[in-house]
């Protein structure tokens, strides 16, 4: 029974990965709303569109931690210059998505729970 459940779980994981891959492949990076995004913003945006793969979930979990604690990180004197640069890059990428109208935060503390616009699919209904 446990062996059968493990196989079903693997099959479900595989199906989720395929769906996530298909979602990311559909992104039209040449669309005017997307073509000027920075690389960090593209990574976060692709992870939001994907939403299912392990990589996307891990990326968004890390982004959520940084976003939720952004004010504390900016104040922390112990943050090294390299670490501060990474944290600023993540926060700037999220701000870029918000400013471009590609991400609407429904909760100021969470990026992963936000609404994501897909401009290549046409206007929202």
Which tens digits make up the pLDDT trace of 11-66?
555 555 655 677 788 899 999 999 999 999 999 999 999 988 889 999 999 999 99
Would you say 87 and 80 are in contact if contact means Cβ atoms under 8 Å apart? no
- CA 121 – CA 25 distance, rounded (Å): 13
Q: Rounded to two decimals, what is the model's pTM?
A: 0.80
Q: How far is CA 29 from the centre of its chain?
A: 15
Q: Count Cα neighbours of 7 within 13 Å in the Cβ-side half-sphere.
A: 4
Which tens digits make up the pLDDT trace of 70-92?
888 777 756 677 788 888 899 99
Q: Are strands 115-116 and 103-104 parallel, antiparallel or unpaired?
A: antiparallel
Domain-wise residue ranges, the chain: 2-121
The pLDDT score that the predictor gives to residue 25 is 85
């Amino acid at each position: 029974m446990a062996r059968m459940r493990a196989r079903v779980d693997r099959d479900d994981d595989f199906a989720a990965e395929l769906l996530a891959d298909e979602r990311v492949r559909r992104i039209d990076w040449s669309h005017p709303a997307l073509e000027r995004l920075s690389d960090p913003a593209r990574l976060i945006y692709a992870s939001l569109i994907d939403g299912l793969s392990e990589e996307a979930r891990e990326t968004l979990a890390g982004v959520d931690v940084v976003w939720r604690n952004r004010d504390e990180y900016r104040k922390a004197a112990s943050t090294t210059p390299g670490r501060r640069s990474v944290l600023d890059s993540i926060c700037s990428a999220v701000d870029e998505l918000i400013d471009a109208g590609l991400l609407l935060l429904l909760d100021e503390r969470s990026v992963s729970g936000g609404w994501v616009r897909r401009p290549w699919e046409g206007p929202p209904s």
